[in-house]
Amino acid sequence: MAKIIDGKLISQQIKDEVKDKVAKLSEQGVTVSLAVIQVGNDPASSVYVRNKKKACEYCGIVSLAYELPEETTEDELLALIDELNNRKDCNGILVQLPLPKGIDEEKVLDAISPLKDVDGFHPMNVGALSIGKPGFLSCTPAGVIELIKRSGYSIEGKECVVIGRSNIVGKPMAMLLLRENGTVTVTHSKTADLKAVAKRADILVVAIGKPKMIDASYVKDGAVVIDVGIHRMDNGKLCGDVDYDSVEPVAEAITPVPGGVGPMTIAMLMNNCVTSVDLQK
C-alpha cells in the first residue's frame, strides 16, 4: 500500500511556521499584509478569496479586501494596482482569476510590482526562478516541492517527469525540480508515447486538467505520484488527474484529492507574504 502524502497536515505545519514568523516580525514592529482583489462575483472565486482571507487571519497577516463590481474597467483595476504597488502598508497583491471579459489578465498581472507578486506569476519572478535568483515562487509548484521533501523523499538525482506545461503549474514545477537537482522531463499534449516517458519517473507530477487520465499503466512501480489536478465529478465528489484507485497499489507514495496539493497552494501563498517583507527590504 502506498504512503498517503497528507497535504492537510503539511500545509498546517507551514501555516504554523508562517504564523510564528509573522508574530516575530510583529514584535519588531513589522506588519505583514496582503491585498486580495476580486472583480465580479464568480462563486468559485468567492470561495477561494474567502479561504485566502481565513488563512491570513490564522497566520496574523492583515488582509486588505477589494471586492470590485463586475463592471470595473481595466483602467480602474490598473489604477488600484498602481496605488497598492506604492503603498508601504501593503506587502503582497493578489488578483483573483479569472477576471471578467474585457479585462486583459496578462496586462493586469504584469502591472503588479514584482516585489509584491505573491502569486509568483510576474515574468520577472518567473525569470528569477529560472536563473536561481531570489524572487517569489509560484505557489502550487512550490507546495509540491514541500510535499515531496517533508514526506521524506529526496529529489536529487531522481528521474522527475512533469505532465503538463502550463505557465502556472507545469513550467515552474519543472524549474523547481531542476533546482532541487532532479533530472527533469516535461511532457505535454504533443508528447509521443507519454506512457513510456511517464513510466521512467521516480517522481511523477501530473498537471493535465483531465479527470483520472493517469492510471497504473503510466506509473513505474515504487514511484512517488503527485496529483495537481482537481475536478468535481457528477456525483459531487472531487477527483484529480490521476486515477487514484488504479495507481495507489503500484506507487510508493501518492497525494489524494482532496487533501493533497490543494491545501498547499494557500499555505505557500501565506509563506510568500512573509518572503515579501524580506524582498522589499
Residue of 112, 194, 205, 253 that binds ligand NAD (CB under 6 A)? 194
Decide if 118 contacts 92 (C-beta within 8 A).
Answer: yes
Q: Which is nearer to ligand NAD, 100 or 209 (CB)?
A: 209
Q: Least distance from C-beta 281 to ligand NAD, angstroms?
A: 29
Q: Least distance from C-beta 215 to ligand NAD, angstroms?
A: 13
Q: Which is nearer to ligand NAD, 167 or 181 (CB)?
A: 167
Closest CA to 108 of 41, 167, 38: 38
**233-252 positions binding ligand NAD, by CB under 6 A:** 241
Q: Which is nearer to ligand NAD, 184 or 194 (CB)?
A: 194
Per CB under 6 A, 140 contacts ligand NAD: yes
Residue of 15, 116, 122, 165 that binds ligand NAD (CB under 6 A)? 165
Per CB under 6 A, 208 contacts ligand NAD: yes
Q: Least distance from C-beta 162 to ligand NAD, angstroms?
A: 9
Q: Which stretch binds ligand NAD (CB under 6 A): 11-19, 84-92, 107-115, 201-209?
A: 201-209
Question: Is residue 210 annotated as part of the catalytic site, yes or no?
Answer: no
Per CB under 6 A, 99 contacts ligand NAD: no
Q: Which is nearer to ligand NAD, 164 or 256 (CB)?
A: 164
Q: Which is nearer to ligand NAD, 168 or 223 (CB)?
A: 168
Size of the site for ligand NAD (CB under 6 A): 24
Per CB under 6 A, 226 contacts ligand NAD: no
Residue of 135, 170, 172, 182 that binds ligand NAD (CB under 6 A)? 170
Question: Is residue 96 annotated as part of the catalytic site, yes or no?
Answer: yes
**203-206 β-sheet, strand order:** 3-4, 253-254, 224-227, 203-206, 159-163, 183-187
Angle, CA 86 vertex, CA 81 and CA 92 arms, to 5°:
65
Judged by the rule CB under 6 A, the positions of this chain that interact with ligand NAD are 140, 163-166, 168-170, 187-189, 191, 194, 207-210, 228-230, 241, 261-262, 265
